[in-house]
Chain A
Amino acid sequence: MERTEGAPAPTVATAFEKARAEGRAALVGYLPAGFPSYEGAVAAATAMVEAGCDVIEIGLPYSDPLMDGPTIQDAVHQALTGGIRITDVFRTVEAVAATGARTLVMTYWNPVDRYGVDAFARDLSSAGGCGLITPDLTPEEAEPWLAASDAYDLDRVFLVALSSTDERLAEITGVSRGFVYAASLMGVTGARSAVDTGAAHLVERTRKAMAGRSPLPVGLGLGVSTGEQAAEVAGFADGVIVGSAFIRRLLDAPSLEAGIDAVRRLTAELADGVRR
């Protein structure tokens, strides 16, 4: 899918702007490609868009997901065992982007490095993807990605953490594009019963680090799983990011159909949460 000359590249920033214009936070949903199957992932992501997700993160399944808790590990393992390849990830992005939702890929760095950073950026862009979220790539090692994302006009979403110093927040937000991903807690992915009390402060510090520049939206992720929590996070962040809770629904369902129904209900609950 070649972009027509002159048309602006899709960016997640527009999804955040739309949400802001509606006086609410954006809802960002994560799902790994190939889980529970290639078609199942596309169907589930489509349901998430229909029920109210503004942005979809397609996870690129990786053999050593060291930032992920058991739920995402299980899903990714299932996707890899099912034979998912990087080309399938691009096909998934293409199908999800076709729904009109802004679509990012979330990936550990080695698959991109192996594919070739420039080739990856090129193929992601032609699939209609907006950019990458890179949980184990920080600005220090990001030079090839900064160049490739410039060449293909892609968003680059880096993470900030509760432990990030002010200097690091300034550096990270300085090279980010699209939005900034604030990790709500010190730990791996997975549902938690409560949002860490430091999360709001991190969002505030991240915004402060962008003072004097055109500020990027700040999305908060890790641990959010209910409409209640989404409403709480929407009170202080520009976006609410949910992953493991969707996967849990699919893992626990007796059939794909039932799983997608449950995903749809959860999305509606979260979409209601970000509007409260």
Chain B
Amino acid sequence: MTIDAARDLPDLTGHFGRFGGRFAPEALMAALDELTTAYQTAVADPAFRAELNHLLKTYAGRPSLLTEAKRFGAEAGGARILLKREDLNHTGSHKINNVLGQALLTRRMGKTRIIAETGAGQHGVATATAAALLGLECVVYMGEVDTVRQALNVARMRMLGAEVIPVKNGSRTLKDACNEAFRDWVASVQHTHYCIGSTMGPHPFPMMVRDFQRIIGVEAREQVLELTGKLPDAVVACVGGGSNAIGAFHAFIPDEDVRLYGFEAGGAGVDSGKHAATLVGGSVGVIHGMRTYLLQDDDGQTLETHSVSAGLDYPGVGPEHSWLRDTGRATYQAVTDSEAMDAFALLCRTEGIIPAIESAHALAGALRVGQELGPDATIVVCLSGRGDKDMHTAAEWFGLVEGEGSAL
């Protein structure tokens, strides 16, 4: 399959080459078909598109800025670094782009309840926000480990009227939150929409979420052309489930001279086994309804993941990234916890922007790509979210708490 065909992917059954598809219980098949149809008719309906665009503009604050990061760029081999500021969106991350689309769709399908899984809590906050705006009942599943490290977001969701259910089984992180949301959905599908937060899950989710996030790259492409008169040399993003990355990449896929780099959570290092770098260290299998790369053992049991970033702490990845990896169109590398935290601090100190720890993985990657491509390069970095939610983790990491020595 050629890269040109990327624009037409997935196929009608939700496949990106050999990836994606629909590995789901029969009980959900009718709902997945209904969702596919509802989505297709909605995006073909000018009224739906107008309402979504209106919300994106007047509520989420789009288009998001493209900010030049000169002092940060000096540390990245002197490359010109342009930050796509998804952190400035309402609720503080790219997650709102997808959620507004799915929430409008929920209402259009006549459903009254919306559920979500969340890792960092950004998708949960976005879902709770849209639910409040549209008057939907909202339940968010979140791994117990993540409710502790992202406590601020738990409070935000509850403040917005959502019920947050801590998930206490398995590794008590994002994957287990997904399991629990699916369990809810099989029992509630008649009146409930499962608003999946990334480009993962059974068809049509990877396609639909990508389409809602595509605006990141569409805007960035225009903005960079306007600013520099040419396309960038590289687009860089962090990859958890892969939604901000595919959103940033997609409009650039046909531009074959633009390199696409995804950075996964390397945790304590891929060799240590304590990581969440699915595309770098995983193998092909089936998880959460899709065929994709995942972290599994010889028996096909999902492995526990490790990352300082709750939003990247996931053993699977969106199927389109698996396809981009295998075709070679995009390159995926791992960034360790400490590299990410160094880049986190660097952006704070050079640009006065506190990024999400997830996004800090992209920033660490940009430092690498900048060194590689040199001072003539222009690099667009998707700054997927802001770091308020991470201050607790950062304070501990850097010893910012009163009475303790600072590591900065």
Q: Among the listed A68, A114, A136, which residue makes an inter-chain contact with B300, where contact means beta carbons less than 8 Å apart?
A: A114
Say yes or no for A99: interface residue by CB 8 A criterion.
no
Residues of A within 8 A of B179 (CB): 64-66
Q: Among the listed B22, B30, B287, B300, which residue makes an inter-chain contact with A168, where contact means beta carbons less than 8 Å apart?
A: B30
Q: Report yes or no: A110 in contact with B286, Cβ–Cβ below 8 A.
A: yes
Say yes or no for A67: interface residue by CB 8 A criterion.
yes
In the complex, A58→B301 CA distance in Å?
A: 17
Q: Distance (Å) between the CB of B171 and the closest chain A CB?
A: 9
Residues of A within 8 A of B26 (CB): 138, 158-161, 163-164, 168, 172, 183
| CB interface residues, A 162-196, toward B, < 8 Å | 162-165, 168, 172, 183, 185-188
In the complex, A48→B170 CA distance in Å?
A: 29
Per-residue CB proximity of B139-183 to A under 8 Å, as 1/0?
000000000000000000000000000000110000100110011
Q: Report yes or no: A115 in contact with B187, Cβ–Cβ below 8 A.
A: no
Q: Report yes or no: B25 in contact with A159, Cβ–Cβ below 8 A.
A: yes
Q: Report yes or no: A163 in contact with B301, Cβ–Cβ below 8 A.
A: no
Say yes or no for A14: interface residue by CB 8 A criterion.
no
Residues of A within 8 A of B23 (CB): 109, 136-137, 141
Q: Among the listed A86, A168, A183, which residue makes an inter-chain contact with B299, where contact means beta carbons less than 8 Å apart?
A: A86
Say yes or no for B98: interface residue by CB 8 A criterion.
no
| CB interface residues, A 12-62, toward B, < 8 Å | 62
Q: Report yes or no: A138 in contact with B189, Cβ–Cβ below 8 A.
A: no
Residues of B within 8 A of A77 (CB): 169
Q: Report yes or no: A62 in contact with B187, Cβ–Cβ below 8 A.
A: no
Q: Report yes or no: B22 in contact with A63, Cβ–Cβ below 8 A.
A: no
Contact count band on A: 35 or more
Say yes or no for A275: interface residue by CB 8 A criterion.
no
In the complex, A165→B27 CA distance in Å?
A: 10
Among residues of A, the one whose C-beta sits closest to the C-beta of B182 is A66
Q: Report yes or no: B301 in contact with A111, Cβ–Cβ below 8 A.
A: yes
Q: How many residues of B contact A (CB 8 A)?
A: 36
Q: Report yes or no: A138 in contact with B29, Cβ–Cβ below 8 A.
A: yes
Say yes or no for B63: interface residue by CB 8 A criterion.
no
Say yes or no for A5: interface residue by CB 8 A criterion.
no
Per-residue CB proximity of A129-156 to B under 8 Å, as 1/0?
0000001111011000000000000000
Q: Report yes or no: A62 in contact with B301, Cβ–Cβ below 8 A.
A: yes
Q: Report yes or no: A80 in contact with B183, Cβ–Cβ below 8 A.
A: no
Q: Report yes or no: A113 in contact with B187, Cβ–Cβ below 8 A.
A: no
Residues of B within 8 A of A172 (CB): 26
Q: Among the listed B27, B169, B178, B286, which residue makes an inter-chain contact with A109, where contact means beta carbons less than 8 Å apart?
A: B286
Among residues of A, the one whose C-beta sits closest to the C-beta of B13 is A140
Residues of A within 8 A of B302 (CB): 63-64, 110
Say yes or no for A73: interface residue by CB 8 A criterion.
yes
Say yes or no for B298: interface residue by CB 8 A criterion.
yes
Per-residue CB proximity of B292-314 to A under 8 Å, as 1/0?
00001011111000000000000
Q: Distance (Å) between the CB of A167 and the closest chain B CB?
A: 10
Per-residue CB proximity of B19-41 to A under 8 Å, as 1/0?
00111111111110000000000
Given the interface pairs A114-B300, A164-B30, the reply to whether A186 lies near B175 with Cβ below 8 Å is no
A contact patch SS: loop
Say yes or no for B285: interface residue by CB 8 A criterion.
yes
Residues of B within 8 A of A86 (CB): 299
In the complex, A108→B285 CA distance in Å?
A: 12
Residues of B within 8 A of A186 (CB): 27, 186-187, 189-190
Residues of A within 8 A of B285 (CB): 110, 113-114
In the complex, A85→B24 CA distance in Å?
A: 24
Residues of B within 8 A of A160 (CB): 26
Q: Distance (Å) between the CB of A77 and the closest chain B CB?
A: 7
Q: Report yes or no: A113 in contact with B300, Cβ–Cβ below 8 A.
A: yes
Q: Distance (Å) between the CB of A58 and the closest chain B CB?
A: 15
Q: Distance (Å) between the CB of B180 and the closest chain A CB?
A: 8
In the complex, A69→B169 CA distance in Å?
A: 11
Residues of A within 8 A of B298 (CB): 114
Q: Report yes or no: A165 in contact with B170, Cβ–Cβ below 8 A.
A: no
Residues of B within 8 A of A (CB): 13, 21-31, 169-170, 175, 178-179, 182-183, 186-187, 189-190, 283, 285-289, 291, 296, 298-302
Q: A161-B26, A161-B29, A183-B26 are in contact. List 18 more A-B contacts (CB 8 A).
A: A62-B300, A66-B179, A66-B182, A111-B299, A111-B301, A113-B286, A114-B296, A136-B25, A140-B13, A140-B22, A141-B21, A141-B22, A141-B23, A141-B291, A161-B30, A163-B30, A163-B189, A172-B26
A-B contact pairs, 26 of them (CB 8 A): A62-B300, A62-B301, A63-B170, A63-B301, A64-B302, A66-B25, A66-B178, A66-B179, A66-B288, A67-B183, A109-B23, A109-B286, A111-B299, A113-B300, A114-B300, A136-B23, A140-B21, A141-B22, A141-B291, A159-B25, A162-B27, A163-B30, A165-B30, A172-B26, A185-B187, A186-B186
